[in-house]
């Protein structure tokens, strides 16, 4: 899959590498700022208590 994406990026090798890094950063930002906040209320991790 990653090879397919890399082969379809335009430009010479340095430009492709830069575009691949920017694409990965965009995916991470999308996950952190859109997907994870939308899913977080549905996860059962908010009511954690520790009893001693």
Given this model, what pLDDT does residue 50 score? 79
Do residues 18 and 6 make contact, with C-beta atoms less than 8 angstroms apart? no
Global pTM value: 0.72
Distance CA 35, CA 29 (A): 9
* Residue 48 domain flag: no
* Residue 47 domain flag: no
Give the count of domains, the chain: 1
* Residue 15 domain flag: yes
The tens digit of pLDDT for each residue in 16-45 reads 999 999 999 999 999 999 999 999 888 877
* Residue 29 domain flag: yes
Please report the sign of the dihedral spanned by the C-alpha atoms of residue 15, residue 17, residue 20, residue 24: negative
Is 80 exceeded by the pLDDT of residue 49? no
Q: How confident is the model at residue 11 (pLDDT cuts 50, 70, 90)?
A: very high
Do residues 10 and 22 make contact, with C-beta atoms less than 8 angstroms apart? no
């Amino acid at each position: 899959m990653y090879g397919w994406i890399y082969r379809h990026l335009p430009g010479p090798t340095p430009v492709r590498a830069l575009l691949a890094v920017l694409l990965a950063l965009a995916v991470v930002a999308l996950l952190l700022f859109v997907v994870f906040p939308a899913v977080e209320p549905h996860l059962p991790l908010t009511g954690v208590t520790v009893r001693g």
